Structure 1
Amino acid sequence: MNILSTIVATGIPGFLSYIYLNRLGILNYTKDEKDEKIIVLSIFSLINIGVSIVVFYYLTGKKFSKNLDIESYLFLFLIAVVVSFILTLYIYPLVMKMGNKYIDNFQKNNHIANKSTKTVYESVLFRKDKKYPFIFIFDFDNKFIESGFAHRLSGASEKLNISITNTTGHIKETYTIYEVLEKFENHDNESAEIIIDVENKLKVFVFYS
């Protein structure tokens, strides 16, 4: 087993870290942000490799080189898995949340527009302080499409793939754009938003309970 294959192997858990943080909503890059995604994956892998090699040397007293036996390589990979597990569950989320909070405060204090790695739908429909918003969907011709509680969203891209549920049993079959606009005007800025989806030619009215 050569040194290159070991480096690649120990970097695999770094990729798993990215997947986990992506599922938590801490990291989420769109298909147009491939360069950013590659950089983040590389950073995770380098951190994972570096910490694993240090721990390996501390536990065995052996320097990382191509002369290691297969048992040492396997032990190093096991260390990488454990290190990645600890970093992913405890260190990465804490550091990234603190970093995002600092950046958000800096942008707010300096009147800089906030750029999120989340899609617009994820940011608006699934806010941490709100649960299952009620939405109305219209096309650009103001034709009613659907309404209900936004329950699940596909995060693969900006495309609209929403699972809608009706837990009240009192949703009308159809609404007019004027009814929804009137409802929107009667809500404050914190409890209602509109998503203008140019790509899919949709207007999505979002109401938080």
Structure 2
Amino acid sequence: MDIKIFLMIAATGVPGFISYWILSQFKLFDIRDNNKDDKIILLSSLSVLNILVSYLVCDFFSINFKDGSYVNILIILALSVLVVLINSVLIYPLFISFIKKNVLLFQRHYNISIENNKTVIENIMYSRPNNTDTQVYIFDFDNKLILEGGLGFVSNVSSQLSIRNIIDAKTSYDEAIKIYNETDNLSREILIDYEKKIKIIFIHF
């Protein structure tokens, strides 16, 4: 057994798929179905990285790749699985979070719009301050209140959301805008949906 075997395993995409699935659960990756080429590149890259690190770890422990015994193969597989899990749960999330955080700071500092696959609502939720809740005010284009309450779930496919703790209130548009104007820039957003003809005011607190 040599590195060619590792490369053959990497070519199957399995190590990369495991990492991609775990990272997706952490909401660190979000590649749409219509971006299949991007997903293939990502899976291949993760597979190669996982296998390369696995090979280096096995080499570090002086494992004989030419030994084709079942025990040796099991040891190599066990180390490889361990490497994939450590990379996926610890190394990759830390690295990706660091990159995303700095990209976001760069974007805000230079007022640059960076293309991504997220919906507008997802971007609003992604950029909100940590450990905050979000109050939502939904108005039509005539500035009539439709609904208000705490933000619940947000769809990663369409501009759909759920509202929790709906309150029987009648906040006017002017009152909502006043709250918006009194809120820090990083803790407020307004979404305008021209198709549904609604305006959604997000206040993070």
- Place the TM-score, normalised by the shorter chain, in its bin: 0.7 to 0.9
| Identical-residue share of aligned pairs (%) | 34
Secondary structure at the aligned position of 1:62 is classed as coil
What corresponds to 1:38 in structure 2? 40
What corresponds to 2:55 in structure 1? 53
What corresponds to 2:137 in structure 1? 136
Secondary structure at the aligned position of 2:76 is classed as helix
**1:180 and 2:176 matched:** yes
Deviation digits for residues 37-71 of structure 1, max 9, x if unmatched?
Answer: 322221111111222233334442115xxx94555
Deviates more, 1:73-82 or 1:85-94: 73-82
Letter in 2 for 1:150: L
Number of residue pairs matched by the alignment:
200
TM-score (norm 1): 0.72
Aligned CA distance change for structure 1 residues 77 and 10 (closer, same or farther; 3 Å)? farther
Deviation digits for residues 90-111 of structure 1, max 9, x if unmatched?
Answer: 2112222333344345545555
Query: Of the candidates 17, 24, 28, which is equivalent to residue 19 of structure 2?
Result: 17
Gaps of 5+ in 1: none
**1:192 and 2:194 matched:** no
C-alpha distance in structure 2 between counterparts of 1:187 and 1:175, whole Å: 16
Query: Of the candidates 40, 59, 62, which is equivalent to residue 65 of structure 2?
Result: 62
C-alpha distance in structure 1 between counterparts of 2:53 and 2:24, whole Å: 22
State the superposition RMSD in angstroms.
3.5
C-alpha distance in structure 1 between counterparts of 2:133 and 2:101, whole Å: 24
What corresponds to 2:158 in structure 1? 158
Secondary structure at the aligned position of 2:92 is classed as helix
Indicate if the aligned counterparts of 1:10 and 1:49 stay in contact, CA closer than 8 A: no
Indicate if the aligned counterparts of 1:25 and 1:118 stay in contact, CA closer than 8 A: no
Indicate if the aligned counterparts of 2:7 and 2:48 stay in contact, CA closer than 8 A: no
